[in-house]
Amino acid sequence: MSGDDDGLRDYVTSRLPSLRRSAFLMCGDWDLATELTEACLARVVADSRRGAVADPDVYAYADLMEACRRRNRRREHVFVAAAGAEGVAAESILVLDALHKLAPRCRAVLVLRHWDGFEVDAVGAMLDLDDERVDAYERAGLAALERLIEDSRTALAG
Amino acid sequence: MTTRLNQLLEHVLDGEPVIGDEIDEIFRRADRMRRRRLQALIGSGAAVVAVIAATGYALTVTLMPGADTSAPAPAASYAAARPSAVADPVLALIAPIADAKLRISPRPPERGSGWRQYSVTDSAGRPRGTIEVAVYHVAEDLCFPVLAAPGKCARTEWAPAGVEYVRYDDEKDPDWQVHQTIARHITDGRTVAVMATGERGADDAAGGKPGLTGAQVQKIATDRRLFDAFGSSEDCFGPSSGACPAFKVPVPDGSD
């Protein structure tokens, strides 16, 4: 991606929705996700203009995941539906609740691998982890998520 | 679970709000970031310049002998007055000739373009007057003044190395005793005046005696090294001559 504004605008336009969804899966609040995504993409634009960004996707997702991780240290993980949104399915609430019970880095691996579809090495570059650690986080995260969802379903059924 | 997780997450995002003017807002934020970075860069640059200037000033004050920061001498003439980085060569010439019991130190304002002045104190720290030295460029043959006969020229004495001089010692006034010599290097016309005066307001004539005798003043003034102790551009007839010391017998500037 070049540092010219047309190229940057195209990049921002194409990446904003997916980045914002990833941020929402990380923080559970659409307003916060929008704020974090805007700040992240503004940094991508500013740093790309001065030629400081080699791979904008790695830069953007790494920055966004770090911002979400810092934010999650300071607040409870609470799912907040968008203002005026239709009723959210109970299954979705269970998934989000289970996702947010995972450690932030484990959650980031699952979001980047299973929602954004990045390869293991790309996720490792974004989260500053080696491939084995990414695999380990992924396996542990999926197992924990499955267990949490099953537990929640059982509790609801009971 | 891998496939299922992807499908489950799709439903989670059902209530996603529409994107409004977020893209324009992102570019506005990027512009604000750039401005803040630029301001920070300018601020840090200014801070670096200030630190360098302060460090240079501190080093100059610390390392340059005789650089008294309280001296209100004009900056331009102060800078021009330094012929070299060596400690004051005029003082280096005077000090060995003076009585070993006396201490000679720069007297603020201690120097300017073409002049220096020093305080003399005895071993007990009592003031013993001042020593003032100035250099002039005299183009024509100099008419050494005669105190008793204005308009007449004094007969000069000769010192080695082509220096002619006249001594003017005046001890008649106990409160204003003066030992002065004007010396001129005949090949280039450079002329120096050296004057030692006693402390004014002393109780008696002995207390008001200058720190240097007439012979010592003469020895200093006729030393070729004194001419070289000033920078070649220094001249008490120059633009900053107003700051030059007033001598008991002024050096004529040729227009007199």
Same domain, B29 and B81: no
Which domains occur in chain A, in start order? Answer: 5-153 (1.20.140.160)
pLDDT in tens, B71-100: 444 444 444 344 443 578 899 889 888 888
Residue B189 has pLDDT above 60, yes or no: yes
ipTM score above 0.85: no
Residue B255 resides in a domain = no
B69 in any annotated domain:
no
Structure tokens at A146: 């499955």
Position B194 pLDDT exceeds 90:
yes
Q: For residue A134, what are its two tokens?
A: 């990414």
Same domain, B119 and B233: yes
Confidence band (pLDDT; 50, 70, 90) for A74? very low
- Reference A57, options A141, A132, A133, A117; nearest CA is A117
Instruction: Starting at the earlier edge strand, list the strands of the sheet with B157-159.
Output: B103-112, B115-121, B127-137, B190-197, B178-185, B163-170, B157-159
Question: What share of chain A has pLDDT > 70, as a percent?
Answer: 85
HSE (CB half, 13 Å, CA atoms) of B20?
5
User: Stretch B100-129: mean pLDDT, rounded?
Assistant: 87
- What tens digit of pLDDT does each residue of A41-52 get? 999 999 998 888
Rounded-to-integer distance, Cα B220 and Cα B41, Å: 56
The shortest C-alpha distance from A89 to chain B (Å) reads: 8
**Distance in angstroms (rounded) separating the CA atoms of residues B100 and B122:** 9
- Residue B134 has what pLDDT? 94
**Are B88 and B17 in a shared domain?**
no
Residues B41 and B82 in one domain: no
- Model pLDDT, residue A135: 92
Q: Cβ contact (<8 Å) for B11 and A25?
A: no
Report, as an integer, the average pLDDT of B182-201. 86
Contact at CB, A95 and B1, closer than 8 angstroms:
no
Q: Please give the average per-residue pLDDT across A98-112, as a whole number.
A: 88
On whether both B184 and B127 belong to a single domain, the answer is yes
First to last CA, chain B: 111
pLDDT at residue A63 in the model: 93
User: B83 and B33: one domain?
Assistant: no
Smallest CA–CA separation between B46 and chain A, in Å? 22
B-chain residues near A85 (CB < 8 A) = 14-15, 17
Q: Is B251 within the bounds of a domain?
A: no
pLDDT at B16 over 80: yes
Instruction: Find the Cα–Cα–Cα–Cα dihedral A7, A12, A13, A15, rounded to 10°.
Output: 120
Separation in Å, CA B72 to CA B75, B76, B112, B119: 8, 12, 11, 17
Q: Is residue B248 one of the residues assigned to a domain? A: no
Q: Do B14 and B140 sit in the same domain of this protein?
A: no
Q: Chain B residue closest to A36 (CA)?
A: B26
pLDDT for the residue numbered B8: 73
- Return the higher-pLDDT residue of B12 and A118: A118
Q: Strand, coil or helix: what is B232? A: coil
* Amino acid letter, residue A69: R
Instruction: State which residues form the domain around B31.
Output: 2-49
Q: What is the pLDDT of residue B200?
A: 77
What confidence tens digit (pLDDT) does each residue in B43-77 have? 889 999 999 999 988 888 887 765 554 444 444 44
Distance set, CA B100 to CA A6, A10, B86, B95, B120 (Å): 83, 86, 22, 8, 11
Answer yes or no: is pLDDT of B2 > 90.
no
Measured between beta carbons, which residues in chain A are less than 8 angstroms from residue B8? 91-92, 95
Q: Is residue B250 part of a domain?
A: no
Q: What is the pLDDT of residue A20?
A: 94
Place of tokens 């002998």: B65
B108 domain-assigned: yes
Whether residues B81 and B129 share a domain: the answer is: yes
Whole-number mean pLDDT of chain B? 81
Q: What are the tokens at B40?
A: 């920070």
Compare all CA atoms of chain A with the CA of B33 and give the residue at the minimum distance: A46
Same domain, B17 and B128: no
pLDDT of residue A79: 56
Mean pLDDT of A53-60: 90
Please check whether residues B195 and B122 belong to one and the same domain: yes
Report yes or no on B188 lying in a domain. Answer: yes
Angle at B64 between CA B59 and CA B65, to 5 degrees: 140
* Alpha helices (runs of H) in chain B, residue ranges in sequence order: 2-12, 22-63, 75-80, 89-97, 214-221, 224-228
Please indicate, yes or no, whether residues B82 and B138 belong to a single structural domain of this protein. yes
Say how many residues make up chain B: 256
Query: Is residue B128 predicted with pLDDT exceeding 90?
Result: no
Name which of A25, A107, A10, A119 is nearest A56 in CA terms.
A10
Q: Considering its fold, how many domains does chain B have in total?
A: 2
In a domain, B58, yes or no: no
Check A142 against B5: CB less than 8 A apart: yes
Sign of CA dihedral B143, B145, B150, B155: negative
Are B111 and B39 members of one domain?
A: no
Percent of chain B with pLDDT over 90: 20
Q: Min CA distance, B42 vs chain A (Å)?
A: 17
Residue B80 has a pLDDT of 39
* Average pLDDT for A140-150: 87
What band does A87 get if pLDDT is binned at 50, 70 and 90? low
